[in-house]
Amino acid sequence: MNSSLDSLNRWVDDVARLTRPDRIHWCDGSDAEADILRRRMVERGELIELNPDSHPGCTLHRSHPDDVARVEHLTFVCTREEADAGPNNHWMAPDAAHAKMDALFDGCMRGRTLYVVPYCMGPIDSPLSRCGVEITDSPYVVLNMRLMTRMGSAALARIEREGRFVRGLHSTGELDPERRFIMHFPEELTIKSYGSGYGGNALLGKKCHALRIASFQARQEGWLAEHMLIVGIQNPEGRTHYVAAAFPSACGKTNLAMLIPPERYARAGWKVWTVGDDICWMTPGPDGRLWAINPEAGFFGVAPGTSARTNPNALAMLDRDAIFTNVAVDAENRPWWDGLPGAPVTDWKGNPAAGDAPAAHPNSRFTVSARQCPSWSPHAEDPQGVPISAIVFGGRRASLVPLVFEAFDWSHGVLVGAAMASETTAAATGAVGVLRRDPMAMKPFCGYHFGDYWAHWLGFERPGAELPRIFHVNWFRKGEDGRFLWPGFGENMRVLEWMVRRIEGSADAVDSPIGRLPAAEALDTAGTGVDPATLDALLEVDPAAWEAEFRDIEAFFADYAPRVPERLHARLAHLREGAAAAAAATTTT
Protein backbone atom coordinates (compact mmCIF):
# COMPACT_ATOMS: atom_id res chain seq x y z
CA MET A 1 0.00 0.00 0.00
CA ASN A 2 1.15 3.54 -0.69
CA SER A 3 2.80 4.85 2.47
CA SER A 4 0.74 8.05 2.55
CA LEU A 5 -2.55 6.17 2.22
CA ASP A 6 -1.30 3.64 4.74
CA SER A 7 -0.70 6.53 7.16
CA LEU A 8 -4.14 7.96 6.41
CA ASN A 9 -5.82 4.59 6.97
CA ARG A 10 -4.01 4.11 10.29
CA TRP A 11 -5.14 7.55 11.42
CA VAL A 12 -8.76 6.87 10.43
CA ASP A 13 -8.61 3.56 12.32
CA ASP A 14 -7.16 5.27 15.39
CA VAL A 15 -9.87 7.93 15.34
CA ALA A 16 -12.58 5.30 14.89
CA ARG A 17 -11.32 3.38 17.92
CA LEU A 18 -11.42 6.59 19.95
CA THR A 19 -14.78 7.97 18.75
CA ARG A 20 -16.56 4.61 18.18
CA PRO A 21 -18.89 5.50 15.26
CA ASP A 22 -21.55 3.10 13.99
CA ARG A 23 -20.18 3.33 10.47
CA ILE A 24 -17.38 4.90 8.40
CA HIS A 25 -17.92 6.60 5.02
CA TRP A 26 -15.11 7.76 2.73
CA CYS A 27 -16.39 10.75 0.75
CA ASP A 28 -15.86 10.79 -3.01
CA GLY A 29 -17.35 14.25 -3.67
CA SER A 30 -19.80 12.99 -6.28
CA ASP A 31 -23.22 14.43 -7.09
CA ALA A 32 -24.81 11.11 -6.16
CA GLU A 33 -23.18 11.17 -2.72
CA ALA A 34 -24.33 14.75 -2.10
CA ASP A 35 -27.89 13.91 -3.19
CA ILE A 36 -28.06 11.00 -0.75
CA LEU A 37 -26.72 13.08 2.16
CA ARG A 38 -29.08 15.93 1.36
CA ARG A 39 -32.11 13.66 1.14
CA ARG A 40 -31.29 11.98 4.46
CA MET A 41 -30.83 15.33 6.19
CA VAL A 42 -34.17 16.55 4.84
CA GLU A 43 -35.87 13.38 6.08
CA ARG A 44 -34.38 13.94 9.56
CA GLY A 45 -35.34 17.62 9.58
CA GLU A 46 -31.70 18.79 9.57
CA LEU A 47 -32.19 20.54 6.24
CA ILE A 48 -35.29 22.25 4.87
CA GLU A 49 -35.91 22.35 1.13
CA LEU A 50 -36.65 25.86 -0.13
CA ASN A 51 -38.93 26.89 -2.99
CA PRO A 52 -37.89 24.64 -5.92
CA ASP A 53 -39.24 27.09 -8.49
CA SER A 54 -37.43 30.22 -7.28
CA HIS A 55 -34.44 28.49 -5.58
CA PRO A 56 -33.86 25.05 -7.13
CA GLY A 57 -31.41 22.91 -5.20
CA CYS A 58 -31.36 25.31 -2.24
CA THR A 59 -31.74 24.22 1.37
CA LEU A 60 -31.91 25.85 4.80
CA HIS A 61 -30.05 24.69 7.89
CA ARG A 62 -30.87 25.98 11.38
CA SER A 63 -28.07 25.93 13.93
CA HIS A 64 -28.46 25.43 17.64
CA PRO A 65 -29.10 28.93 19.05
CA ASP A 66 -25.89 28.71 21.10
CA ASP A 67 -23.78 27.78 18.05
CA VAL A 68 -23.92 30.62 15.54
CA ALA A 69 -20.41 32.12 15.30
CA ARG A 70 -16.68 31.56 15.68
CA VAL A 71 -15.50 31.21 19.28
CA GLU A 72 -12.19 33.05 19.35
CA HIS A 73 -11.86 32.79 23.15
CA LEU A 74 -12.00 28.98 22.82
CA THR A 75 -9.60 28.81 19.87
CA PHE A 76 -6.00 27.86 20.69
CA VAL A 77 -2.64 27.63 18.93
CA CYS A 78 -0.67 24.81 20.53
CA THR A 79 3.03 25.25 19.82
CA ARG A 80 5.74 23.61 21.93
CA GLU A 81 6.94 27.03 23.09
CA GLU A 82 4.29 29.48 24.30
CA ALA A 83 6.30 32.44 22.98
CA ASP A 84 6.01 31.12 19.41
CA ALA A 85 2.20 31.41 19.52
CA GLY A 86 2.54 35.08 20.50
CA PRO A 87 0.23 37.44 22.38
CA ASN A 88 -2.08 37.40 19.35
CA ASN A 89 -3.15 33.81 20.16
CA HIS A 90 -4.50 31.81 23.06
CA TRP A 91 -1.97 29.07 23.83
CA MET A 92 -2.08 25.64 25.36
CA ALA A 93 0.75 23.11 25.63
CA PRO A 94 0.33 20.42 22.93
CA ASP A 95 0.26 17.45 25.31
CA ALA A 96 -2.35 19.10 27.52
CA ALA A 97 -4.42 20.12 24.49
CA HIS A 98 -4.36 16.62 22.99
CA ALA A 99 -5.38 15.11 26.31
CA LYS A 100 -8.25 17.56 26.74
CA MET A 101 -9.53 16.99 23.21
CA ASP A 102 -9.14 13.21 23.20
CA ALA A 103 -11.16 13.02 26.42
CA LEU A 104 -13.96 14.90 24.65
CA PHE A 105 -13.72 12.75 21.52
CA ASP A 106 -13.85 9.50 23.52
CA GLY A 107 -16.97 7.68 22.29
CA CYS A 108 -18.50 10.87 20.85
CA MET A 109 -19.57 9.30 17.53
CA ARG A 110 -21.66 6.44 18.92
CA GLY A 111 -24.81 6.20 16.84
CA ARG A 112 -23.29 8.42 14.14
CA THR A 113 -21.41 8.08 10.87
CA LEU A 114 -17.74 9.01 10.69
CA TYR A 115 -17.11 10.80 7.40
CA VAL A 116 -13.61 10.90 5.92
CA VAL A 117 -13.39 14.06 3.81
CA PRO A 118 -10.24 14.37 1.63
CA TYR A 119 -9.96 17.88 0.20
CA CYS A 120 -7.62 20.18 -1.69
CA MET A 121 -7.25 23.87 -0.86
CA GLY A 122 -6.65 25.48 -4.23
CA PRO A 123 -6.94 24.20 -7.82
CA ILE A 124 -6.44 20.46 -7.79
CA ASP A 125 -3.46 20.60 -10.17
CA SER A 126 -1.78 23.73 -8.76
CA PRO A 127 1.67 23.46 -7.14
CA LEU A 128 0.52 26.25 -4.80
CA SER A 129 -2.33 24.13 -3.38
CA ARG A 130 -2.21 22.05 -0.20
CA CYS A 131 -4.33 19.05 0.80
CA GLY A 132 -6.05 17.99 3.97
CA VAL A 133 -8.39 15.37 5.37
CA GLU A 134 -11.20 16.24 7.74
CA ILE A 135 -12.84 13.53 9.80
CA THR A 136 -16.28 14.67 10.94
CA ASP A 137 -19.60 13.29 12.16
CA SER A 138 -21.57 16.12 10.53
CA PRO A 139 -23.18 15.62 7.10
CA TYR A 140 -23.77 19.41 7.06
CA VAL A 141 -19.99 19.83 7.18
CA VAL A 142 -19.57 17.33 4.33
CA LEU A 143 -22.02 19.21 2.08
CA ASN A 144 -20.38 22.55 2.86
CA MET A 145 -16.85 21.23 2.35
CA ARG A 146 -17.95 19.93 -1.03
CA LEU A 147 -18.81 23.51 -2.05
CA MET A 148 -15.92 25.25 -0.27
CA THR A 149 -13.04 22.96 -1.34
CA ARG A 150 -12.05 20.56 -4.10
CA MET A 151 -13.29 17.56 -2.13
CA GLY A 152 -13.31 13.86 -2.87
CA SER A 153 -11.52 11.34 -5.08
CA ALA A 154 -9.26 13.80 -6.93
CA ALA A 155 -7.99 15.21 -3.63
CA LEU A 156 -7.38 11.70 -2.29
CA ALA A 157 -5.37 10.89 -5.42
CA ARG A 158 -3.23 14.00 -4.89
CA ILE A 159 -2.65 13.03 -1.24
CA GLU A 160 -1.52 9.62 -2.47
CA ARG A 161 0.94 11.26 -4.89
CA GLU A 162 2.30 13.86 -2.45
CA GLY A 163 2.32 11.88 0.76
CA ARG A 164 1.38 14.81 3.01
CA PHE A 165 -1.81 16.39 4.28
CA VAL A 166 -3.25 18.42 7.15
CA ARG A 167 -5.21 16.29 9.61
CA GLY A 168 -8.45 17.71 10.95
CA LEU A 169 -10.69 15.94 13.46
CA HIS A 170 -14.14 17.39 14.16
CA SER A 171 -17.24 16.39 16.06
CA THR A 172 -20.33 18.40 16.86
CA GLY A 173 -20.31 16.64 20.23
CA GLU A 174 -23.27 17.72 22.36
CA LEU A 175 -23.17 21.34 21.08
CA ASP A 176 -22.48 22.33 24.68
CA PRO A 177 -20.78 25.77 24.87
CA GLU A 178 -18.95 24.57 27.98
CA ARG A 179 -17.44 21.68 26.01
CA ARG A 180 -16.38 23.53 22.88
CA PHE A 181 -12.76 23.99 21.78
CA ILE A 182 -10.83 24.48 18.53
CA MET A 183 -7.18 23.46 18.85
CA HIS A 184 -4.46 24.02 16.25
CA PHE A 185 -1.14 22.15 16.31
CA PRO A 186 0.82 23.91 13.55
CA GLU A 187 4.04 21.98 14.16
CA GLU A 188 2.07 18.76 13.62
CA LEU A 189 -0.19 20.08 10.80
CA THR A 190 -3.16 18.98 12.92
CA ILE A 191 -6.51 20.52 13.93
CA LYS A 192 -8.99 19.28 16.52
CA SER A 193 -12.43 20.87 16.84
CA TYR A 194 -15.17 19.75 19.21
CA GLY A 195 -18.61 20.94 20.25
CA SER A 196 -19.64 23.20 17.36
CA GLY A 197 -21.32 22.75 14.00
CA TYR A 198 -20.87 26.39 12.92
CA GLY A 199 -18.90 26.83 9.68
CA GLY A 200 -15.93 28.79 11.00
CA ASN A 201 -15.44 26.21 13.77
CA ALA A 202 -16.39 23.08 11.82
CA LEU A 203 -15.35 23.56 8.18
CA LEU A 204 -11.73 22.91 9.03
CA GLY A 205 -10.47 23.70 5.54
CA LYS A 206 -11.46 27.34 5.97
CA LYS A 207 -9.99 29.52 8.74
CA CYS A 208 -8.38 26.62 10.61
CA HIS A 209 -6.39 25.15 7.72
CA ALA A 210 -6.29 27.92 5.12
CA LEU A 211 -5.11 30.58 7.59
CA ARG A 212 -3.95 29.37 11.02
CA ILE A 213 -2.13 26.23 9.87
CA ALA A 214 -1.27 27.55 6.42
CA SER A 215 0.27 30.77 7.76
CA PHE A 216 2.63 28.65 9.84
CA GLN A 217 3.39 26.43 6.82
CA ALA A 218 3.88 29.49 4.64
CA ARG A 219 6.54 30.92 6.92
CA GLN A 220 8.46 27.64 6.84
CA GLU A 221 8.13 27.24 3.06
CA GLY A 222 8.53 30.86 1.90
CA TRP A 223 5.04 31.95 0.91
CA LEU A 224 2.10 33.88 2.43
CA ALA A 225 -1.34 32.72 3.59
CA GLU A 226 -3.50 35.82 4.00
CA HIS A 227 -7.02 36.91 4.92
CA MET A 228 -7.44 38.71 1.60
CA LEU A 229 -9.77 38.90 -1.35
CA ILE A 230 -8.34 38.64 -4.88
CA VAL A 231 -9.86 40.74 -7.64
CA GLY A 232 -8.83 41.43 -11.22
CA ILE A 233 -9.19 44.97 -12.59
CA GLN A 234 -9.28 45.02 -16.41
CA ASN A 235 -8.70 48.43 -17.98
CA PRO A 236 -10.05 49.63 -21.34
CA GLU A 237 -6.76 48.67 -22.99
CA GLY A 238 -7.44 45.02 -22.05
CA ARG A 239 -4.73 44.70 -19.38
CA THR A 240 -5.78 43.03 -16.12
CA HIS A 241 -4.07 43.84 -12.82
CA TYR A 242 -4.81 41.56 -9.87
CA VAL A 243 -5.22 43.10 -6.43
CA ALA A 244 -5.15 41.33 -3.06
CA ALA A 245 -6.93 43.24 -0.30
CA ALA A 246 -7.27 42.79 3.47
CA PHE A 247 -10.12 44.30 5.48
CA PRO A 248 -11.43 43.68 9.01
CA SER A 249 -15.13 42.89 9.36
CA ALA A 250 -17.74 45.47 8.28
CA CYS A 251 -15.36 47.16 5.84
CA GLY A 252 -16.80 46.04 2.50
CA LYS A 253 -14.55 43.10 1.66
CA THR A 254 -17.05 40.93 -0.21
CA ASN A 255 -18.56 43.96 -1.94
CA LEU A 256 -15.12 44.90 -3.29
CA ALA A 257 -14.42 41.33 -4.42
CA MET A 258 -17.58 41.38 -6.55
CA LEU A 259 -17.65 45.07 -7.44
CA ILE A 260 -19.64 46.14 -10.50
CA PRO A 261 -18.10 49.20 -12.22
CA PRO A 262 -20.32 52.29 -12.52
CA GLU A 263 -22.06 52.61 -15.89
CA ARG A 264 -19.58 55.24 -17.04
CA TYR A 265 -16.66 52.90 -16.40
CA ALA A 266 -18.42 49.88 -17.89
CA ARG A 267 -19.09 51.80 -21.11
CA ALA A 268 -15.41 52.75 -21.26
CA GLY A 269 -14.40 49.08 -21.06
CA TRP A 270 -13.48 48.58 -17.39
CA LYS A 271 -14.24 45.12 -15.98
CA VAL A 272 -13.85 43.51 -12.57
CA TRP A 273 -13.10 39.80 -12.16
CA THR A 274 -13.59 37.89 -8.90
CA VAL A 275 -10.92 35.34 -7.97
CA GLY A 276 -11.71 35.09 -4.26
CA ASP A 277 -13.51 36.94 -1.49
CA ASP A 278 -11.76 35.81 1.69
CA ILE A 279 -8.40 34.00 1.52
CA CYS A 280 -5.32 34.44 -0.64
CA TRP A 281 -2.19 32.29 -0.85
CA MET A 282 0.77 34.07 -2.47
CA THR A 283 4.17 32.74 -3.43
CA PRO A 284 7.15 34.24 -5.32
CA GLY A 285 7.27 33.14 -8.94
CA PRO A 286 10.33 32.68 -11.15
CA ASP A 287 9.76 36.21 -12.51
CA GLY A 288 10.09 37.72 -9.02
CA ARG A 289 6.40 38.61 -8.78
CA LEU A 290 3.99 37.27 -6.17
CA TRP A 291 1.53 34.80 -7.69
CA ALA A 292 -1.71 34.02 -5.88
CA ILE A 293 -4.47 31.43 -5.72
CA ASN A 294 -7.76 31.40 -3.89
CA PRO A 295 -7.53 28.20 -1.83
CA GLU A 296 -11.31 28.04 -1.57
CA ALA A 297 -13.77 26.85 -4.21
CA GLY A 298 -16.84 28.59 -2.81
CA PHE A 299 -18.18 31.47 -0.77
CA PHE A 300 -19.28 31.21 2.86
CA GLY A 301 -20.76 34.68 3.04
CA VAL A 302 -22.76 36.76 5.49
CA ALA A 303 -26.32 37.05 4.18
CA PRO A 304 -27.73 40.17 5.93
CA GLY A 305 -26.90 43.28 3.95
CA THR A 306 -26.36 41.37 0.71
CA SER A 307 -28.81 43.02 -1.67
CA ALA A 308 -29.36 44.26 -5.19
CA ARG A 309 -27.98 47.64 -4.07
CA THR A 310 -24.89 46.53 -2.14
CA ASN A 311 -23.78 43.41 -4.03
CA PRO A 312 -25.89 42.38 -7.02
CA ASN A 313 -23.29 39.84 -8.15
CA ALA A 314 -23.52 37.99 -4.83
CA LEU A 315 -27.31 38.04 -4.89
CA ALA A 316 -27.39 36.73 -8.46
CA MET A 317 -25.54 33.53 -7.53
CA LEU A 318 -27.87 32.60 -4.66
CA ASP A 319 -30.93 31.48 -6.60
CA ARG A 320 -29.78 27.87 -7.06
CA ASP A 321 -27.69 25.11 -5.44
CA ALA A 322 -26.91 27.06 -2.27
CA ILE A 323 -26.99 26.15 1.41
CA PHE A 324 -28.46 28.84 3.65
CA THR A 325 -27.80 28.84 7.37
CA ASN A 326 -29.90 30.71 9.97
CA VAL A 327 -31.74 32.95 7.51
CA ALA A 328 -35.46 33.66 7.72
CA VAL A 329 -38.10 32.39 5.29
CA ASP A 330 -40.85 34.39 3.55
CA ALA A 331 -44.40 33.33 2.70
CA GLU A 332 -43.21 31.74 -0.57
CA ASN A 333 -40.64 29.55 1.27
CA ARG A 334 -37.79 31.65 -0.06
CA PRO A 335 -34.71 32.69 1.98
CA TRP A 336 -35.02 36.16 3.52
CA TRP A 337 -32.75 38.58 5.38
CA ASP A 338 -32.35 42.30 5.93
CA GLY A 339 -31.74 43.92 2.56
CA LEU A 340 -34.17 41.77 0.58
CA PRO A 341 -37.67 42.84 -0.51
CA GLY A 342 -40.75 41.32 1.05
CA ALA A 343 -41.20 40.21 4.63
CA PRO A 344 -40.26 37.17 6.70
CA VAL A 345 -42.89 34.85 8.13
CA THR A 346 -40.53 32.43 9.90
CA ASP A 347 -37.39 33.49 11.75
CA TRP A 348 -34.01 31.77 11.86
CA LYS A 349 -35.09 29.63 14.83
CA GLY A 350 -38.19 28.37 13.02
CA ASN A 351 -40.62 30.54 14.98
CA PRO A 352 -43.10 33.09 13.60
CA ALA A 353 -41.18 36.24 12.71
CA ALA A 354 -41.64 39.03 15.27
CA GLY A 355 -40.89 42.71 14.80
CA ASP A 356 -38.81 43.04 17.97
CA ALA A 357 -35.98 40.70 16.93
CA PRO A 358 -33.94 40.09 13.76
CA ALA A 359 -35.74 37.51 11.62
CA ALA A 360 -32.45 36.34 10.11
CA HIS A 361 -29.54 35.93 12.50
CA PRO A 362 -27.02 38.80 12.04
CA ASN A 363 -24.37 36.18 11.24
CA SER A 364 -26.58 34.06 9.00
CA ARG A 365 -24.74 32.63 6.02
CA PHE A 366 -24.87 31.27 2.51
CA THR A 367 -22.59 28.63 1.01
CA VAL A 368 -22.31 28.50 -2.76
CA SER A 369 -19.87 27.47 -5.47
CA ALA A 370 -17.65 30.33 -6.66
CA ARG A 371 -18.37 29.28 -10.24
CA GLN A 372 -21.90 30.66 -9.87
CA CYS A 373 -20.62 34.21 -9.35
CA PRO A 374 -21.36 36.32 -12.49
CA SER A 375 -17.95 38.05 -12.16
CA TRP A 376 -16.01 34.81 -11.53
CA SER A 377 -12.63 35.08 -13.23
CA PRO A 378 -11.77 32.73 -16.11
CA HIS A 379 -8.29 32.56 -14.54
CA ALA A 380 -9.44 31.61 -11.03
CA GLU A 381 -8.44 27.97 -11.59
CA ASP A 382 -5.11 28.65 -13.35
CA PRO A 383 -2.57 26.28 -11.74
CA GLN A 384 0.13 28.96 -11.59
CA GLY A 385 -2.27 31.46 -10.00
CA VAL A 386 -2.55 35.11 -10.97
CA PRO A 387 0.20 37.76 -10.61
CA ILE A 388 -0.47 40.33 -7.88
CA SER A 389 0.13 43.95 -8.88
CA ALA A 390 -1.09 45.60 -5.68
CA ILE A 391 -1.88 44.80 -2.07
CA VAL A 392 -4.53 46.92 -0.37
CA PHE A 393 -5.11 47.31 3.37
CA GLY A 394 -8.22 49.02 4.69
CA GLY A 395 -10.18 49.89 7.79
CA ARG A 396 -13.18 51.81 9.03
CA ARG A 397 -12.01 55.21 10.31
CA ALA A 398 -14.39 58.17 10.70
CA SER A 399 -11.48 60.62 10.69
CA LEU A 400 -7.69 60.83 10.39
CA VAL A 401 -7.10 58.30 7.59
CA PRO A 402 -7.54 59.57 4.00
CA LEU A 403 -9.58 57.87 1.31
CA VAL A 404 -6.46 56.35 -0.23
CA PHE A 405 -2.70 56.58 -0.01
CA GLU A 406 0.21 54.59 -1.40
CA ALA A 407 3.11 53.31 0.69
CA PHE A 408 6.52 54.71 -0.20
CA ASP A 409 8.04 51.22 -0.54
CA TRP A 410 7.66 47.61 0.62
CA SER A 411 8.86 48.07 4.21
CA HIS A 412 6.58 51.08 4.63
CA GLY A 413 3.73 49.00 3.23
CA VAL A 414 4.41 46.22 5.75
CA LEU A 415 4.25 48.85 8.50
CA VAL A 416 0.93 50.12 7.09
CA GLY A 417 -0.46 46.59 7.21
CA ALA A 418 0.96 45.83 10.66
CA ALA A 419 -0.59 48.99 12.10
CA MET A 420 -3.96 48.87 10.35
CA ALA A 421 -6.94 49.52 12.57
CA SER A 422 -10.70 49.78 12.38
CA GLU A 423 -13.36 51.41 14.51
CA THR A 424 -16.15 49.25 15.84
CA THR A 425 -19.80 49.91 15.12
CA ALA A 426 -22.71 50.04 17.57
CA ALA A 427 -24.36 47.09 15.86
CA ALA A 428 -21.32 44.91 16.53
CA THR A 429 -20.19 45.99 19.97
CA GLY A 430 -22.58 48.46 21.53
CA ALA A 431 -19.95 51.20 21.36
CA VAL A 432 -19.09 53.37 18.38
CA GLY A 433 -15.56 54.36 17.45
CA VAL A 434 -13.57 51.92 19.60
CA LEU A 435 -10.26 51.54 17.78
CA ARG A 436 -8.93 48.02 17.36
CA ARG A 437 -5.63 47.15 15.72
CA ASP A 438 -5.99 44.21 13.36
CA PRO A 439 -2.67 43.67 11.54
CA MET A 440 -3.25 42.61 7.94
CA ALA A 441 -6.80 41.67 9.13
CA MET A 442 -5.12 38.56 10.58
CA LYS A 443 -5.59 39.08 14.32
CA PRO A 444 -7.90 36.06 14.76
CA PHE A 445 -6.12 33.96 12.14
CA CYS A 446 -2.32 34.20 12.26
CA GLY A 447 -0.99 30.87 13.51
CA TYR A 448 2.16 32.25 15.16
CA HIS A 449 3.71 35.33 16.79
CA PHE A 450 2.90 38.59 15.00
CA GLY A 451 6.48 39.83 15.34
CA ASP A 452 7.75 36.80 13.42
CA TYR A 453 4.91 37.23 10.92
CA TRP A 454 5.91 40.83 10.16
CA ALA A 455 9.55 39.74 9.79
CA HIS A 456 8.40 37.09 7.31
CA TRP A 457 6.63 39.78 5.26
CA LEU A 458 9.74 41.95 5.26
CA GLY A 459 11.79 38.99 4.07
CA PHE A 460 10.16 39.06 0.63
CA GLU A 461 12.16 42.18 -0.23
CA ARG A 462 15.20 40.60 -1.81
CA PRO A 463 17.26 41.02 -5.01
CA GLY A 464 15.21 40.25 -8.11
CA ALA A 465 11.84 40.63 -6.39
CA GLU A 466 9.12 42.51 -8.28
CA LEU A 467 6.86 43.14 -5.32
CA PRO A 468 3.34 44.60 -5.51
CA ARG A 469 2.70 48.22 -4.65
CA ILE A 470 0.93 48.61 -1.31
CA PHE A 471 -2.02 50.94 -0.72
CA HIS A 472 -4.35 51.79 2.16
CA VAL A 473 -8.01 52.78 1.73
CA ASN A 474 -10.68 54.15 4.03
CA TRP A 475 -14.17 54.26 2.50
CA PHE A 476 -15.69 55.47 5.79
CA ARG A 477 -14.34 58.95 6.50
CA LYS A 478 -17.06 61.31 7.73
CA GLY A 479 -17.65 65.02 7.56
CA GLU A 480 -18.51 67.35 10.42
CA ASP A 481 -22.19 66.48 9.94
CA GLY A 482 -21.46 62.80 10.64
CA ARG A 483 -22.20 61.68 7.08
CA PHE A 484 -19.89 59.62 4.93
CA LEU A 485 -17.89 61.77 2.54
CA TRP A 486 -17.37 59.05 -0.06
CA PRO A 487 -20.30 57.27 -1.82
CA GLY A 488 -18.63 53.84 -1.69
CA PHE A 489 -19.87 50.60 -3.28
CA GLY A 490 -19.39 50.69 -7.07
CA GLU A 491 -17.83 54.16 -6.92
CA ASN A 492 -14.81 52.56 -5.24
CA MET A 493 -13.86 51.70 -8.82
CA ARG A 494 -12.51 55.24 -9.08
CA VAL A 495 -9.94 54.56 -6.39
CA LEU A 496 -9.02 51.26 -8.02
CA GLU A 497 -8.53 53.11 -11.30
CA TRP A 498 -6.01 55.44 -9.63
CA MET A 499 -4.16 52.40 -8.26
CA VAL A 500 -4.04 50.78 -11.69
CA ARG A 501 -2.79 53.99 -13.23
CA ARG A 502 -0.12 54.24 -10.50
CA ILE A 503 0.97 50.68 -11.28
CA GLU A 504 1.22 51.54 -14.96
CA GLY A 505 2.96 54.87 -14.29
CA SER A 506 0.21 57.07 -15.73
CA ALA A 507 -1.21 58.71 -12.58
CA ASP A 508 0.42 61.36 -10.44
CA ALA A 509 0.80 61.41 -6.67
CA VAL A 510 2.02 63.84 -4.07
CA ASP A 511 4.02 62.95 -0.99
CA SER A 512 2.59 63.46 2.49
CA PRO A 513 3.94 62.48 5.94
CA ILE A 514 2.08 59.15 5.74
CA GLY A 515 2.44 58.18 2.07
CA ARG A 516 1.61 59.22 -1.47
CA LEU A 517 -1.81 60.77 -2.12
CA PRO A 518 -3.60 61.27 -5.46
CA ALA A 519 -2.44 64.47 -7.10
CA ALA A 520 -4.93 67.17 -8.03
CA GLU A 521 -7.44 65.80 -10.57
CA ALA A 522 -5.74 62.37 -10.57
CA LEU A 523 -8.83 60.87 -8.95
CA ASP A 524 -11.90 60.94 -11.20
CA THR A 525 -14.95 62.10 -9.22
CA ALA A 526 -17.18 63.17 -12.11
CA GLY A 527 -20.81 62.29 -11.44
CA THR A 528 -20.28 61.24 -7.83
CA GLY A 529 -21.46 64.43 -6.16
CA VAL A 530 -18.04 64.72 -4.49
CA ASP A 531 -17.07 68.38 -4.95
CA PRO A 532 -13.48 69.70 -4.67
CA ALA A 533 -13.93 70.73 -1.03
CA THR A 534 -15.20 67.26 -0.11
CA LEU A 535 -12.33 65.62 -1.97
CA ASP A 536 -9.90 67.82 -0.07
CA ALA A 537 -11.49 66.65 3.19
CA LEU A 538 -11.28 63.01 2.05
CA LEU A 539 -7.57 63.33 1.33
CA GLU A 540 -6.62 65.58 4.24
CA VAL A 541 -3.62 64.51 6.33
CA ASP A 542 -3.32 66.23 9.73
CA PRO A 543 0.35 65.86 10.80
CA ALA A 544 -0.35 66.61 14.47
CA ALA A 545 -3.08 63.97 14.63
CA TRP A 546 -0.79 61.49 12.90
CA GLU A 547 1.90 62.14 15.51
CA ALA A 548 -0.56 60.82 18.09
CA GLU A 549 -1.44 57.87 15.83
CA PHE A 550 2.22 56.93 15.46
CA ARG A 551 2.66 57.01 19.25
CA ASP A 552 -0.30 54.67 19.59
CA ILE A 553 1.20 52.30 17.01
CA GLU A 554 4.47 52.33 18.94
CA ALA A 555 2.59 51.37 22.11
CA PHE A 556 0.83 48.58 20.20
CA PHE A 557 4.15 47.20 18.99
CA ALA A 558 5.40 47.10 22.59
CA ASP A 559 2.97 44.24 23.22
CA TYR A 560 4.95 42.14 20.74
CA ALA A 561 8.45 42.99 21.93
CA PRO A 562 11.13 41.84 21.52
CA ARG A 563 10.16 40.16 18.24
CA VAL A 564 9.03 43.26 16.33
CA PRO A 565 11.57 43.71 13.49
CA GLU A 566 13.93 46.65 13.96
CA ARG A 567 13.13 47.76 10.40
CA LEU A 568 9.52 48.44 11.46
CA HIS A 569 10.67 50.43 14.48
CA ALA A 570 13.06 52.45 12.31
CA ARG A 571 10.43 53.07 9.67
CA LEU A 572 7.91 54.17 12.29
CA ALA A 573 10.44 56.53 13.89
CA HIS A 574 11.15 58.07 10.48
CA LEU A 575 7.43 58.67 9.86
CA ARG A 576 7.04 60.20 13.32
CA GLU A 577 9.87 62.60 12.60
CA GLY A 578 8.28 63.58 9.29
CA ALA A 579 4.87 64.15 10.89
CA ALA A 580 6.43 66.22 13.67
CA ALA A 581 8.30 68.37 11.16
CA ALA A 582 5.16 68.87 9.08
CA ALA A 583 3.13 69.74 12.18
CA ALA A 584 5.75 72.26 13.26
CA ALA A 585 5.79 73.83 9.81
CA THR A 586 2.01 74.09 9.83
CA THR A 587 2.06 75.73 13.26
CA THR A 588 4.74 78.19 12.15
CA THR A 589 2.81 79.04 9.02
Active-site positions read 251
Count CB-CB contacts under 10 A for residue 72. Answer: 13
Between CA 44 and CA 475 the distance in angstroms is 46
Sign of CA dihedral 367, 371, 377, 382: positive
For residue 396, say whether it is annotated as part of any ligand binding site: yes
User: Binding residue per annotation — 489?
Assistant: yes
**250 annotated to bind ligand:** yes
- Does 199 show up as a binding residue in the annotation? yes
The answer to whether 254 is annotated as binding is: yes
In this structure, the number of other CB atoms found within 10 A of the CB of residue 393 comes to 27
Contacts of 324 (CB under 8 A, 6+ apart): 50, 58, 59, 60, 61, 303, 335, 364, 365, 366, 367
The response to whether 131 counts as a known ligand-binding position is no
CA dihedral 130, 135, 138, 141 (to 10 degrees): 0
d(C-alpha 278, C-alpha 210), whole Å:
10
Phi and psi dihedrals of 194, rounded to 5?
Answer: -140, 140
Q: What is the DSSP letter of 492?
A: G
Is 227 labeled as ligand-binding?
Answer: yes
Distance CA 317, CA 376 (A): 10
363 belongs to an annotated ligand binding site: yes
DSSP 365-397: EEEEEGGG-TTB-TTTT-TT-EEEEEEEEE---
Q: Is 90 annotated for ligand binding?
A: no
Other CB atoms within a 10 A radius of the CB of residue 460 amount to 18
**242 labeled part of a ligand binding site:** no
55 annotated to a ligand binding site? no
Residue 89 annotated in ligand binding? no
Instruction: Please report, in range form, the residues annotated as the binding site.
Output: 70, 198-200, 207, 227, 249-255, 278, 363-365, 396, 489-492
Instruction: Please report, in range form, the residues annotated as the binding site for Mn(2+).
Output: 207, 227, 278
Instruction: Please report, in range form, the residues annotated as the binding site for substrate.
Output: 70, 198-200, 249, 363-365
Instruction: Please report, in range form, the residues annotated as the binding site for GTP.
Output: 250-255, 365, 396, 489-492
